[in-house]
Amino acid sequence: MQDDYPADDGYSWSKYGQKDILGSKHPRGYYRCVHRPEKGCEATKQVQRSDSDTQLFDVVYHGEHTCAENVHSRGESARSLPHHVSVSAGVIPPATSESQVTYEAVSSGSTAGIHFMSPATSAGSQVTYESGSRSTTTGRFISPGMSESQVAYAEFWTWPDNVDFMLNSPINERLDLNADFVDETGPSDFD
DNA sequence: GTGATTTGACCTCG
DNA sequence: CGAGGTCAAATCAC
């Protein structure tokens, strides 16, 4: 097992620690923005391989970059985009293969968070940004076998009763979604 | 040699 | 006191 790091996210990070997490099979790596000394950039992130899906990484971002180094490396845009977008409890719109989508949720409550998960059969990253009450989740689908009808699941926590979603598709189309949150529902079927 | 990573110690918070 | 997060000296890679 060499590759203990997910796909490049366009930022420069330096590792400053690693810990074994109770109940987790894989260690958690701690990274901070390389430009902390100069710019005082407080962005950090944690990377941990998922227990259930070895191909999946759980990445949690803290803070925002003040260093303006958002070099969006991979300009590979998707061939197709999600046509139908809907939000139901625990289910988030689909993304097609090779596409990258961004879910941004703004909560009126304290701390917001989203867990973004690709379908069990696909590989990808599970990414969570946390910054106060604002939470942005980016999912980068890298599975070639993923079809349009497949959906990605999201899990939510410490949420008020209402969330706003903004989905940025690969072609800059922006969809604003609003969903009331009922109870936690296990992954239903593809929708 | 220089800069980055590793790794156990240390710190903090519940 | 334990778990998670950070520090920093030793070590590694270029």
pLDDT exceeds cutoff 70 at A113: no
Is the distance from CB of A177 to CB of A149 less than 8 angstroms?
A: no
Q: Domains, chain A, ranges and CATH? A: 14-67 (2.20.25.80)
Q: Which residues of the protein have their beta carbon within 7 Å of strand B?
A: A 14-19, 29, 34
Q: Is the CB of A46 under 7 A from strand C?
A: yes
The distance (Å) linking the CA of A84 with the C1' of C4 is 41
Q: Is the CB of A30 under 7 A from strand C?
A: yes
The distance (Å) linking the CA of A127 with the C1' of C5 is 19
Is the distance from CB of A59 to CB of A44 less than 8 angstroms?
A: no
pLDDT exceeds cutoff 90 at A15: yes
Q: Is the CB of A79 under 7 A from strand C?
A: no
Residue type, A5: Y
pLDDT exceeds cutoff 90 at A19: yes
Cα angle, residue A140 at apex, residues A78 and A13 outer, rounded to 5°? 125
Mean pLDDT score of chain A, rounded to an integer?
Answer: 49
Mean pLDDT in residue range A98-109: 39
A173 compared with A57, residue with greater pLDDT: A57
pLDDT in tens, A26-62: 899 999 888 887 777 877 888 887 776 666 667 777 7
Ramachandran area for residue A10 (φ above 0: left; ψ -120 to 50: alpha; else beta): left
The distance (Å) linking the CA of A156 with the C1' of C10 is 42
Q: Which nucleotides of C are covered by protein (CB under 7 A)?
A: 2-8
Q: SS3 of A38, please?
A: helix
What secondary structure letter does DSSP report for A108?
S
pLDDT exceeds cutoff 90 at A118: no
At a CB cut-off of 8 Å and minimum separation 6, what does A53 contact? Answer: A120, A123
- The nt closest to A5 (CA vs C1′) is B5
Q: SS3 of A42, please?
A: coil
Other C-beta atoms lying within 10 Å of the C-beta of residue A172: 8
The distance (Å) linking the CA of A137 with the C1' of B12 is 28
Q: How far is CA A45 from CA A3, A14, A59, A135, in A?
A: 17, 10, 7, 14
The distance (Å) linking the CA of A174 with the C1' of B14 is 41
- The nt closest to A17 (CA vs C1′) is C6
pLDDT at A33: 86
